[in-house]
Amino acid sequence: MKILYLLQVILLASCQSVSKNAEKPQESSTFNQTVLLFPEKGAESQKLTISMSFPSIPGGRTIEDSVNAVLYEGDAPQAYADKIYSSYKELYESIKAIAENSETANWYYTEEIRVLTGQDAETPVGTVKTPLLQIKRTIEEYTGGAHPIHNTQFYVFDAQSGRRLSIEDFVQDAEALIQTVEASLCRDKGVAPGTPLDEAEITFLGKEHLDSLPDNFFLTDQGVGFYWNEYEIAPYSTGGIKTVVLYDDIHLSN
């Protein structure tokens, strides 16, 4: 009987431990790795540097799982980082035969993901009815060539359900909003609304108007912001393009 009792106690403790671990929140973390292309050269070797940082996701396990599914393709952050590292390492080592004397063989990949807070300009203050969780992902990478590539992506989630929200969740007619966004871009550039965007040197030559709104948006206490990365609507030299359309110019449906 004593043996049976002890087994029951051990089993109960084990189940409680598993339950606690299952509810343990995902902690913020970092991932840093360096690959020497020519290890025998030591510090003089060309190298690949991987640097990543991941936030703790507030709101509980359901929200965390929903966010992970979007940000990390369903993986945990560490597993996602391992995949990024492995793919870049394999690609990097494939150039070894031609890179010994190359000045462009020092590669890097940096990724920062963070939860936007009240201190961030992209965070709304009492404007939208739905409680929001907003996340900003910033990537910079260099894999040879003339310049690095930058990418910024915003994610807007319902903080209660974990569902990723689209611009259609906030405005009744996203198609009609395009002209308003174009006018905002023109004002930012200091030209009259209605000016063809390429003429205002906002977009590529020949692209007078936006074809659609980007899914890359965020909300502030003043309005809805839209972001375009390099090459999306303009040359690399333009950099990322951001504009905020004031709530007074938008009929919010949420």
- Structural domain spans, the chain: 25-165, 168-249
CATH number at 168-249: 3.90.640.20
Residues 6 or more apart in contact with residue 192 via CB below 8 angstroms:
186
Summarised one tens digit per residue, pLDDT across range 144-159 is 989 999 999 999 999 9
Using alpha carbons only, give the angle 102, 35, 86 rounded to the nearest 5 degrees.
Answer: 115
Distance CA 116, CA 218 (A): 10
Tell me the three-class secondary structure of the chain, residue by residue: CHHHHHHHHHHHHHHHHHHHHHHCCCCCEEEEEEEECCHHHHHHCCEEEEEEEECCCCCCHHHHHHHHHHHCCCCCHHHHHHHHHHHHHHHHHCCHHHCCCCCCCCEEEEEEEEECCCCCCCCCCCCCCCCEEEEEEEEEEECCCCCCEEEEEEEEEECCCCCECCHHHCECCHHHHHHHHHHHHHHHHCCCCCCCCCCCCCCCCCCCCCCCCCCCEEECCCEEEEEECCCCCCCHHHCCEEEEEEHHHCCECC
Distance CA 124, CA 130 (A): 11
pLDDT for 175: 84
Task: Please determine, for residue 192, whether its predicted confidence score (pLDDT) is greater than 60.
Answer: yes
| Rounded average pLDDT over 5-32 | 57
pLDDT band at 70 (very low <50, low <70, confident <90, very high): very high
| Rounded average pLDDT over 65-74 | 94
Average pLDDT, the chain: 87
- Token duo for residue 13: 């403790």
- Which CATH superfamily is 25-165 part of? Fervidobacterium nodosum Rt17-B1 like (3.30.565.40)
Residue type, 129: K
Distance CA 100, CA 97 (A): 7
CB-based contact 131:165 (threshold 8 Å): no
CB-based contact 167:224 (threshold 8 Å): yes
Task: Please determine, for residue 189, whether its predicted confidence score (pLDDT) is greater than 90.
Answer: yes
User: What percentage of residues in the chain have a pLDDT greater than 90?
Assistant: 71
pLDDT band at 136 (very low <50, low <70, confident <90, very high): very high
Summarised one tens digit per residue, pLDDT across range 96-134 is 988 877 878 999 999 999 999 876 767 676 567 778 999
Task: Please determine, for residue 14, whether its predicted confidence score (pLDDT) is greater than 60.
Answer: no
More confidently predicted of 110 and 23? 110
- Closest to 139 (Cα-Cα) out of 50, 64, 55: 50
Given phi > 0 = left and psi -120 to 50 = alpha, else beta, which region is 201? left
Residues 6 or more apart in contact with residue 75 via CB below 8 angstroms:
68, 83
pLDDT for 250: 86
| Rounded average pLDDT over 76-88 | 97
Given phi > 0 = left and psi -120 to 50 = alpha, else beta, which region is 73? left
More confidently predicted of 102 and 51? 51
pLDDT for 18: 37
